[in-house]
Amino acid sequence: MLRLYDTRSRQLETVVAPGARVVRVYTCGPTVYRYAHVGNLRSYLLPDLIRRVLERHRVGTVLCQNITDVGHLVDDDEIDASGEDKVLQQARREGRSALEIARFYEDAFRRDTNALNMRPPEHTPRATETIDLMIEMIAGLIEKGHAYALDDGSVYFDARSFPTYGEISGNRLDALKPAHRLEGVDPRKRFHADWALWKASDRDMTWETPWGRGFPGWHIECSAMSLRFLGEHIDIHTGGKDLRFPHHEDERAQSNASVGHDVVKHWVHGEHLLFDGRKMAKSTGNVVLLSDVEAAGLDPLAVRLALLEHRYRQQMNLTWDTLQAADRTLRRWRQRVAEWAESPSRPIAAEYRDRAQAALDDDLDTPTTLRVLRELERDESLPPGSRFETFLHLDHVLGLDLSIDIGKPRVAPVLPPGGAELLEARAKAREAKDWAASDRLRDELAALGVKVTDTPEGQTWS
C-alpha cells in the first residue's frame, strides 16, 4: 500500500487505514490573481499522483481543492496593514472588477491542469462563496476561548491557546520572533504570533459579521472549507513546502481547536521548483507558464513527464533542455506504443509492472518508475503486445497519454529536403569504410531530424 513522507511525524507512513475504501484529501488551491507558472503546477501534480496510485489499489479518493479569490494579502505571513488584497490589486492594474479577475484566472488555471492531465477534484469551493462557513467557525473559536475580537471588528486567533503549535514546521511559539520587517503590526494583539481570522475593513469585497464589516484572513478559508467538504477526519493534506509555516500551522490550530481533535492525519509537502537554477519569480524574470511551453512547440505533457523525473519532495531544477528532452521521450514512447499496438495482445509483463508499482508505493518514487519503463522499452525478449499492455497499464498512473497516436492513420515518413542525398552519401562512405565521413553525415542528418540506424542489412532511417 502507498506510503508517503509525513512532514509532521518526519517519517514514511502508510496513508490508507486497514480496510478503508476511500481516502479524503485536501490540497491548498490557487490564489486566482495571475496565471499559474509551472512551479505552481508542480504542487497540484502531487494529489493527482496520490489519487492515481490509490486507484491501482482499488481505493477511491475524494479531493477538495479550494479557490482563494479573496483574503490572500500582499504579504503572506501577516494581514497587511493597508488591507491590500492580491485579487483587488490585480483588478486595479487590469481595469477590471475583482470578480472578473478571479474568474478569468480560475478558468486559466483549470485549462492548465486539464492540459497536464490532472483529474478534477470532487470539490472546488471558492472563498467568496463560503464566507458564511468562515464566520460560523470564527464565532465558535471565540466561544471556545481560542479567538478574541477587537473593538474595530478584527478577530485574532490566540496562538498560545493551542499548545502543540509548531509540530509541522518546527517553529514553536516560544522561539518565534515578532515580524519586524512588517510595519503596522497590530499592537492590540495579545501575543505577537496571533494571526487574523477576520480583518475589519470597508474596502471592496467585504462582508457583515457580528463583529463588524470586513474580510477573512487567508488561513481560516482552508479550515472552514476542508471541514465542510471533507468532514472532521481528513486522511491527507498536501501543499507546497512553503505553506508549512505559517499557513498549515495556523490552519491546523484553527481546525483542531474548532472540533477538539486532530483533523488531518498526514501532512505531505512537495519541494520547490527552480528554473535555470533560480526560484521562479516575476522579480527574477524567469517565470515560465504552460502557454510558454506550448508556444515553444512542446507538448504540455512534456512538463508532466519532466516533473516525474524527480520525486515530489526533491528540489528540482527545470530547464528548456530538460523540457525538450522530455518532449522527445514522450513522442518516442507514443510512437513505440502505436507500433506495438499492431501486434497481437499479450499479458502484462508482471516483473516490470510489479517493480514500477513498488516504486510508486514507496513515497511516489516516479524516477525509478520511469527507469523501469525505459528498461521495458529496450527489452526485445518481450513480445511487442506485452510491452504495449504494460506501458498502457502504467500510464494510468503516469498520465502521459501514451496511446494518443493509436488509431491514427499511419503516414509514410517523408525525408526533409537534402535528406536523401545525405543518406546516399553516407551509404557510399560506409562502403568505402570512411567512418569519419559516415559519422559526420549521421550528425548532419540528425540536425535535419533524421535518425539513422545501422543494421547488418544496411542503414535504416526514421
Question: CA 251, CA 310: separation in Å to the nearest integer?
Answer: 29
Binding-site residue ranges for ATP:
282
DSSP string, 320-337: HHHHHHHHHHHHHHHHHH
> Three-state SS for 192?
coil
DSSP state of 35: -
Residues comprising the binding site? 28, 222, 247, 251, 282
E strand or H helix that includes residue 454: strand 452-455
Half-sphere exposure of 218 (CA within 13 A, CB side): 26
d(CA 49, CA 308): 10
User: Apex CA 37: angle with CA 106 and CA 35, to 5°?
Assistant: 35
Give me the residues paired with residue 278 across strands.
275
Distance CA 210, CA 223 (A): 20
Residues flagged as binding site for Zn(2+)? 28, 222, 247, 251
Coil, strand, or helix at residue 376?
helix
Count Cβ atoms below 10 Å from residue 326 Cβ, excluding itself. Answer: 23
Cβ neighbours of residue 213 under 8 Å, at least 6 residues apart?
153, 200, 201, 202, 206, 207
**In terms of DSSP bridges, do strands 273-275 and 316-318 run parallel, antiparallel, or are they unpaired?**
parallel
Residues 6 or more apart from 316 whose CB is under 8 A from it?
A: 42, 271, 272, 273, 274, 307, 309, 310
